[in-house]
Structure 1
């Protein structure tokens, strides 16, 4: 029986000691001695078993790889009994971590970085175990060997770059090629084919050739579309492999910065105004052009058709608004004012403004709706009378131009 076995069975000894003098029969006396045996770390922990072979899927982080068990002959619960672990070889990239399990007699290996089957298919780890307390004297250290086989899984295709940025004019013709946006399959050991499709195309501008990843213009791109933010249009492109068990899909982001072209003529925002027919100040009309400089302002304006007889239009000092002036006194009523507005590149658009002219003076516009309605009714009556007159004239023309029947004289 070893000393350690005795310690585990009897960690404390109680001794009765008697002392007596040597005269005559002697007078004895008893004493008690208590001896407590303290443990020292004289039993190294041992792996049981010492070799492990495990398989772990690639790309997983935090997964348990292996649980290594040990035994220790020292006092349970003491620092000489609890264990700690270290990977001493086979993990140059720091892919694995090992920690002490809840029982204090197990080492748990986990992944702290994703495994990559295409780079490393197998790891052979050497692990040592020690106690929290140092050994008493030279003791052999137990070593375990853990063989980790990496399992291949189907990984999604990868776009490179993941976000592609291009600059194109907004008026690129429909059917034109924009850019080839392709991905690669990280599963180099598998003979897989990639196909491409549109994942997100909010304005429907784009199409993609399935086999090549060439992005084409499907409908005319418009920088002024609500789907274009700060002049940039974003679409998502998908690459899909043809794995037989579970297809994987990769995503790439295509950002198209659309250069402005002069494809929007300026127009007047106000479509209805009211104005006095006497001493009226200019009415200010605002202009919108969705294009950017130099395809927008400064603007110019011209009156069109009958508008030129009674109205004058000119740009204000800033060149961004129109001053509309009534240059002659008109009867109360509603008039159609046609203005042609040009941008800096002379692209123009005609805008009709409904102008209600009221019997008043100055800038305080007061309209007599009853009078306006009566005037409108009188106009309608005049139109009806004109139509009746035209019909009557037509009837008379037909009457007088009809064939005449002549009667000749005969003898009785």
Structure 2
């Protein structure tokens, strides 16, 4: 009951009168603790909790009530809160989870639990705990009295902390089996006051799981398995599954499968499916129903991870029998060889047999086989095959020099009795079972025969120096042969019979299968003979031998003193000594310029007799602009200055002509034909004039300028041939030599005439 008297303070100076006053200060003074200032009794005004604050430090002093003067020095004292059992034990870390291996021996450690009590562990039994199992027996046990370490640690604030008891849980039954029960629910109680009556208690739960150990072997679901498989199954294809069950889990349940006995150990194999732990039986080698129709295997399943503790109980493996029946399938034809190699000479006769392929039907009910060539591999149809017996024949001639190898594919097709009946009704129709076909590659090598004559490796042209010496090698020539003899090429060189006694040249065979051409004498001259032709016969060593004749051109040239060729043309020989190349080019340019002037002169002369008035049907190349209207009289003067035409003196400077180039398309001009040496100059000029006259793309472009004013005359006379009394057909054109340099373009002709109103 509050307030409760806690302590009483009294000073020896107190005579029992009311002149002394007691004052209290410190922790909780005035709130938790109050003092009677007359009697010195201290009262607790609130309920104290040791777990919240175990002690309080206060200061008391006696003073004069009237003057408040201290009668004696202040005194400090401590109030300690005495503990009572008002806190129950608590499992702060609960609930708990723990695992223990199955099949563990009794007393195997499982886990430990700890409860705490807020009461004072050093005062009485309020914090002395005792643990017990409320649920979980008889599988697990707990130590009835655990040791309590009597270690007390003191901190700066004078508080104490004790190390409380820990309860250890252990197995109580042997060989607990996970496969029978995997999880257990255990309730643990902690009671203070040493477990005596009146103590407080707290509980927690512990979930204990049995972990798996490999204590169970694999076991096949059945002792005998039956499977059937077609004989044409692909290699590696699964044909069946077997299963060995294991009560264990995880790594302990993993098993490996193996074939340990049977007549198909090399034909089949078994592997483990990592996901399902099934044993998968697969085919390793091809099956043949006609050879063996069934197999018997003995398979074994064994654990991978073994526990030595349980090996004494028996082998951790199991076996089962597997019977496999092979079923017949309609198989394609089988060739007698996976590949074929045939050899044939390139001169083999047409329809000759090159070789033969064979195939058979592996089925029990054997069917005939028909052969054909895959024409995608023989686009030129050089070969044929007999559909009945597979003999390959030649259809077109072969040429080793064109193609040495031919690779074709032969197709074998199985025919059933029904298909053969249809074939008899429709001869020539391919009625084979195209779903049952086989293919085989056939390589045909074309063997060489000596059917090509040797020839010069390239077109040779030899150069012979005029100052050469007798016996000097002029040229070394070589030969090639398209044939390919086994022992290599060996050529024989010779001159034609009529050239054996050639007075100028001789030949010499070299060890490297080439031929050297030698001069017999010196003193060759380009003036005497510029070119020599030397026919050479080339023969091979084949059977029969082949030969050809090649002609070597030998050109006589002028050479320097050290044998370097300088000139091989006879014209260069007759040139004056000391004439340089630049001088030759200048002379040639002068000749060309002279020819151009002559052609220009002749062209201008051809135009002198042409009329000034152009007819409508003539080609004037769009250089004449005609007007059909009469004109506007004086109004025309506004369009242009007529005075310029009427008064030549009014023209200032040179007015360029505005000829119109014809907008016609012509074929490319043909090159000039070469003129033979020694042709007369007059004939040469006539030929060139004829070509120029018939070539519309060549200058000059004819044009006519018409003026409305004839002019005042000229000291040289009128140039017009129209309406002139002095003009005739024999008019002299020598004036062209004076006017020619004034022409801006070759072939332009200026004609001056009288005024023509109609024009």
TM-score, reference length from structure 2: 0.40
Are 2:371 and 1:195 equivalent residues in the alignment? yes
Q: 2:743: which partner in 1?
A: none
In 2, the alpha carbon distance for the partners of 1:283 and 1:379 equals 34
State the Cα distance separating 1:184 from its structure 2 match. 3.4
1:240-267 Cα shifts (integer Å, max 9, x gaps)? 2136251423213345472x54322222
Kept in 1: contact 2:496–2:537 (CA 8 A): yes
Pairwise CA RMSD = 4.6
Among 65, 68, 81, the alignment partner of 2:239 is 65
Kept in 1: contact 2:555–2:568 (CA 8 A): no
Three-state SS of the structure 2 residue aligned to 1:371 is helix
In 1, the alpha carbon distance for the partners of 2:275 and 2:380 equals 61
Among 451, 456, 480, the alignment partner of 1:288 is 480
**Which sections of structure 1, spanning at least 5 residues, go unmatched?**
18-24, 26-33, 382-412
Query: Closer, same or farther in 2 for the Cα pair 1:45/1:216, shift >3 Å?
Result: same
Three-state SS of the structure 2 residue aligned to 1:107 is strand
Kept in 1: contact 2:178–2:212 (CA 8 A): no
Q: 1:409: which partner in 2?
A: none
Are 2:511 and 1:318 equivalent residues in the alignment? yes
Kept in 1: contact 2:491–2:538 (CA 8 A): no
Q: 2:248: which partner in 1?
A: 75
In 2, the alpha carbon distance for the partners of 1:39 and 1:87 equals 29
Among 550, 557, 577, the alignment partner of 1:351 is 550
Kept in 1: contact 2:178–2:210 (CA 8 A): no
Q: 2:571: which partner in 1?
A: 371
Q: 2:458: which partner in 1?
A: 270
Query: Closer, same or farther in 2 for the Cα pair 1:378/1:348, shift >3 Å?
Result: same
State the Cα distance separating 1:319 from its structure 2 match. 6.9
Kept in 1: contact 2:559–2:565 (CA 8 A): yes
Kept in 1: contact 2:374–2:410 (CA 8 A): yes
Among 258, 262, 283, the alignment partner of 1:111 is 283
Q: 2:745: which partner in 1?
A: none
Query: Closer, same or farther in 2 for the Cα pair 1:10/1:275, shift >3 Å?
Result: closer
Query: Closer, same or farther in 2 for the Cα pair 1:277/1:204, shift >3 Å?
Result: farther
Three-state SS of the structure 1 residue aligned to 2:567 is coil
Kept in 1: contact 2:338–2:440 (CA 8 A): no
Are 2:408 and 1:213 equivalent residues in the alignment? no
State the Cα distance separating 1:179 from its structure 2 match. 2.5
Three-state SS of the structure 1 residue aligned to 2:236 is coil
Higher strand share: 1
State the Cα distance separating 1:239 from its structure 2 match. 3.1
Three-state SS of the structure 2 residue aligned to 1:248 is strand
Q: 1:360: which partner in 2?
A: 558
State the Cα distance separating 1:350 from its structure 2 match. 1.4
In 2, the alpha carbon distance for the partners of 1:38 and 1:301 equals 104
In 2, the alpha carbon distance for the partners of 1:352 and 1:125 equals 84
In 2, the alpha carbon distance for the partners of 1:104 and 1:307 equals 96
In 2, the alpha carbon distance for the partners of 1:175 and 1:105 equals 64
In 1, the alpha carbon distance for the partners of 2:300 and 2:259 equals 7
Kept in 2: contact 1:124–1:147 (CA 8 A): yes
Query: Closer, same or farther in 2 for the Cα pair 1:115/1:297, shift >3 Å?
Result: same
Query: Closer, same or farther in 2 for the Cα pair 1:5/1:295, shift >3 Å?
Result: closer
In 1, the alpha carbon distance for the partners of 2:495 and 2:235 equals 71
Among 501, 522, 535, the alignment partner of 1:338 is 535
Kept in 2: contact 1:206–1:216 (CA 8 A): yes
1:135-175 Cα shifts (integer Å, max 9, x gaps)? 76358946354535446253353242623355x55433333
Among 305, 323, 331, the alignment partner of 1:154 is 331
Query: Closer, same or farther in 2 for the Cα pair 1:97/1:164, shift >3 Å?
Result: same
1:19-44 Cα shifts (integer Å, max 9, x gaps)? xxxxxx9xxxxxxxx99877673565
In 2, the alpha carbon distance for the partners of 1:205 and 1:311 equals 52
Query: Closer, same or farther in 2 for the Cα pair 1:186/1:15, shift >3 Å?
Result: same
In 1, the alpha carbon distance for the partners of 2:533 and 2:380 equals 37
The structure number with the bigger radius of gyration is 2
In 1, the alpha carbon distance for the partners of 2:244 and 2:236 equals 23
Query: Closer, same or farther in 2 for the Cα pair 1:294/1:262, shift >3 Å?
Result: farther
State the Cα distance separating 1:322 from its structure 2 match. 2.5
Q: 1:236: which partner in 2?
A: 408
Query: Closer, same or farther in 2 for the Cα pair 1:145/1:268, shift >3 Å?
Result: closer
State the Cα distance separating 1:77 from its structure 2 match. 1.9
1:371-411 Cα shifts (integer Å, max 9, x gaps)? 38x9x943899xxxxxxxxxxxxxxxxxxxxxxxxxxxxxx
Deviation larger for 49-58 or 197-206: 197-206
1:282-317 Cα shifts (integer Å, max 9, x gaps)? 211112233537794241211476897675342334
In 1, the alpha carbon distance for the partners of 2:338 and 2:182 equals 71
Query: Closer, same or farther in 2 for the Cα pair 1:349/1:87, shift >3 Å?
Result: same
State the Cα distance separating 1:222 from its structure 2 match. 4.1
Kept in 2: contact 1:263–1:291 (CA 8 A): no
Deviation larger for 183-192 or 131-140: 131-140
Three-state SS of the structure 1 residue aligned to 2:536 is strand
Q: 1:55: which partner in 2?
A: 229
TM-score, reference length from structure 1: 0.67
State the Cα distance separating 1:273 from its structure 2 match. 0.6
Among 264, 273, 279, the alignment partner of 1:92 is 264
State the Cα distance separating 1:340 from its structure 2 match. 1.9
In 1, the alpha carbon distance for the partners of 2:541 and 2:178 equals 106
Q: 1:408: which partner in 2?
A: none
Three-state SS of the structure 2 residue aligned to 1:174 is coil
Query: Closer, same or farther in 2 for the Cα pair 1:37/1:306, shift >3 Å?
Result: closer
In 2, the alpha carbon distance for the partners of 1:380 and 1:297 equals 51
In 1, the alpha carbon distance for the partners of 2:176 and 2:226 equals 31
In 2, the alpha carbon distance for the partners of 1:250 and 1:188 equals 21
Q: 1:21: which partner in 2?
A: none
Deviation larger for 3-12 or 316-325: 3-12
